[in-house]
């Protein structure tokens, strides 16, 4: 078994400890990793193995730091997210090195997962695009339902920020997603389309 296959096994084993399960009984973060990797491959069909591994590390052990462990509101959310980016990057680097991946490639994965160079690093950009597409395709409807108390404009503002983070190719994919009508309306409004 090569280093990439070993790293994938270690990463997926870590995901296996996620206490949240899907309706089918799979660890939620393992399902998320599958979805992010699938989008990375749609965006970059020739993605190198380390990019595929980075996709699987996007939420690596995120469940271990609950959002509720930080203050409510945007400042608390941003602090939580910043901590997670670094923890996930450090953990990804460790698992890749443990599997025998070259140090430079483990560092690439850590850079992408930590979101460093979001505007300038192609790998970081691809990972962020994939995460945004997973959010729109699989999570937005549930997010809107959980936050039914949010005014429409707050949801639209969140989606505007998401849309602005995405590259033009990712935005093009997003326009083709089959979203429920109410959710599609929010996305259209966020991108300023009629």
Q: How confident is the model at residue 193 (pLDDT cuts 50, 70, 90)?
A: confident
| Residue 21, SS3 per DSSP | strand
**Radius of gyration of the chain, Cα coordinates, nearest whole angstrom:** 17
Q: How confident is the model at residue 122 (pLDDT cuts 50, 70, 90)?
A: very high
Task: Please name the residue that has the structure tokens 């549930």.
Answer: 142
CA angle 28, 31, 32 (to 5 degrees): 85
Is the pLDDT at 93 greater than 70? The verdict is: yes
Range of the domain at 55: 3-190
Q: Tally the domains of the chain.
A: 1
**pTM across the whole model:** 0.94
DSSP secondary structure letter of residue 70: S
Whether the CB-CB separation of 39 and 129 falls below 8 Å is answered with yes
Kindly report the CATH number assigned to the domain that includes residue 184.
1.10.3210
Task: Please give the Cα distance from 93 to 95 (Å, whole number).
Answer: 6
- Over residues 106-134, mean pLDDT: 96
Task: Please give the Cα distance from 87 to 51 (Å, whole number).
Answer: 18
Whether the CB-CB separation of 136 and 35 falls below 8 Å is answered with no
Across the chain, what does the average pLDDT equal?
Answer: 95
DSSP secondary structure letter of residue 65: S
Q: How confident is the model at residue 192 (pLDDT cuts 50, 70, 90)?
A: confident
Is the pLDDT at 194 greater than 90? The verdict is: no
């Amino acid at each position: 078994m090569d280093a990439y296959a070993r790293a994938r096994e270690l990463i997926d084993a870590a995901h296996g400890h996620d206490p949240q399960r899907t309706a089918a009984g799979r660890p939620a973060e393992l399902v998320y990793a599958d979805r992010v990797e699938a989008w990375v491959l749609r965006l970059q069909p020739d993605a190198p193995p380390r990019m595929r591994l980075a996709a699987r590390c996007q939420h690596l052990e995120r469940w271990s730091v609950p959002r509720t462990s930080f203050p409510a509101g945007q400042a608390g959310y941003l602090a939580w997210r910043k901590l997670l980016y670094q923890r996930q990057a450090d953990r990804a680097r460790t698992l890749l090195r443990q599997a025998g991946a070259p140090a430079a490639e483990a560092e690439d994965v850590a850079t992408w997962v930590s979101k460093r160079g979001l505007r300038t690093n192609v790998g970081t950009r691809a990972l962020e695009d994939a995460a945004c597409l997973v959010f729109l395709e699989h999570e937005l409807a549930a997010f809107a339902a959980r936050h039914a108390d949010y005014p429409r404009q707050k949801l639209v503002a969140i989606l505007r920020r998401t849309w602005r983070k995405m590259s033009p190719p990712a935005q093009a994919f997003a326009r083709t997603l089959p979203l429920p009508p109410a959710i599609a309306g929010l996305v259209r409004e966020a991108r300023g389309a009629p």
